[in-house]
Structure 1
């Protein structure tokens, strides 16, 4: 009897230990995700906004196509670098859109959004410290025409960005190895034709960071509301095409 009681006690302690270890592991993994989002979003904003400053300083040396290429390449590189760690969002609109589709836990959304916005602000602050004086140029977004025009543009281009993201990252029938290329190319294409209209933000964090550092908030609501609406619409639109979560070979 005593042996049985000792065995039960031992198993009880063992179960509690495993439970604590599991919680610690989950917490560690979550912090790793936040750090990955912080580093990746910082690099994307630093590279993309940095080339915009250099373009102005060097009398349009890079040009709009060059700026679009840098933004797309930065996103592509970071998707491959940390996509397997955090999911490679780098964008509050993407995080929220995934959560609305139940493909990302709502309880992790606040942490992701804070990490993304903080990274954007840090990257913008770094650029302002490096390029000060006459080189100090606002690298945030502002409508070049009517606000409604920029709002509609942001909704549409973010819709297609999220549509592509959903296709290559959530459907087992797609080729996941090419996710970075597909997502980066979409950013490049959107930035090429929409950059001169709305700035082609597609990312609330990308616009909020520079706005905070330069204290420029003109039209900021457009770059928060537009990408969020577009991303949610793109995610749900692709969900209507996903008739199964199983790989195509398994279905056959």
Structure 2
């Protein structure tokens, strides 16, 4: 249960910190943090929780990461479903908190399911921040999750200096967001995508399948590549 609580709190912090920065701080005229600030916020959430919760649960905070580690042979299949459920519940709890805070604005008129990026949702086509197609969105999420897992696996390997793994992983997620916020609003994490889409509904929820399929596919391919081509055997 300690592991599951760690995954809950880690995913909560990722969604609250990352999506919260996008909702509250990114768009303020002249003083807002913009795409770069949101990218850094997501990276910092993972970096901080990697050190806080990583020693307890391994610090996945992402169903795709759990599945990628399983594919690489570094995670027990019996723990997969409990981890994924904890991550999704953590993300939903954070989204609920964000919605409650957003409701505190005097000019808040409710969520608009016809607007790209509403409530920090992910999307493609008309719901991509810059109008990128389904194919472009899928390739982006697949490739970025694949490399994210390769970085995680390499940085946490026995031959690596594991004390610095959280820094490498946090910076990797920052870079991923710098690349892909204009394309999909950046997922690489099905729990993060689900938490926001469930609150908005409509087309963002209909497009959610891609933000499960592409990250999971990329993560599993990365796990197999690392296990069979890159891992240094004893």
TM-score range, shorter chain: 0.7 to 0.9
Structure 2: runs of 5+ lacking an equivalent: 112-117
Shift in Å, 1:218: 3.7
Shift in Å, 1:212: 1.2
1:186 pairs, out of 160, 172, 176, with 172
Pairing 1:79-118 to 2, within 5 Å after superposition: 79-118=50-89
**Structure 1 consecutive aligned stretches of length 4 or more whose deviation exceeds 3 Å:** 133-137
CA RMSD in angstroms comes to: 1.5
Shift in Å, 1:209: 0.7
Equivalent residue number for residue 37 of structure 1: 7
Equivalent residue number for residue 152 of structure 1: 139
Matched length? 214
Equivalent residue number for residue 219 of structure 1: 207
2:101 pairs, out of 130, 152, 155, with 130
Look up the SS of the partner of 1:217 in the other structure. helix
In 2: Cα distance, 1:125 partner to 1:35 partner: 18
Shift in Å, 1:57: 5.1
In 1: Cα distance, 2:185 partner to 2:220 partner: 20
Structure 1: runs of 5+ lacking an equivalent: 1-30, 247-252
Equivalent residue number for residue 50 of structure 1: 20
Deviations 1:220-249 (A, max 9, x none): 1111001001111122222211131x4xxx
Deviations 1:189-238 (A, max 9, x none): 11001111112211000000111122241421111001001111122222
Look up the SS of the partner of 2:179 in the other structure. helix
Equivalent residue number for residue 115 of structure 2: none
Equivalent residue number for residue 160 of structure 2: 174
1:165 pairs, out of 135, 152, 171, with 152
Larger-gyration structure (1/2) = 1
TM-score of the superposition, structure 2-length normalised?
0.87
In 2: Cα distance, 1:57 partner to 1:103 partner: 40
2:196 pairs, out of 194, 197, 210, with 210
> Bigger relative contact order, structure 1 or 2, given CA contacts below 8 A and separation 6+?
2
Work out whether residues 142 and 218 of structure 1, in 8 Å CA contact, stay in contact via their aligned partners in 2.
no
Equivalent residue number for residue 216 of structure 2: 228
Shift in Å, 1:59: 3.4
In 2: Cα distance, 1:127 partner to 1:98 partner: 30
Task: Tell me whether 234-243 or 198-207 shows the greater mean CA deviation.
Answer: 234-243
Shift in Å, 1:44: 0.8
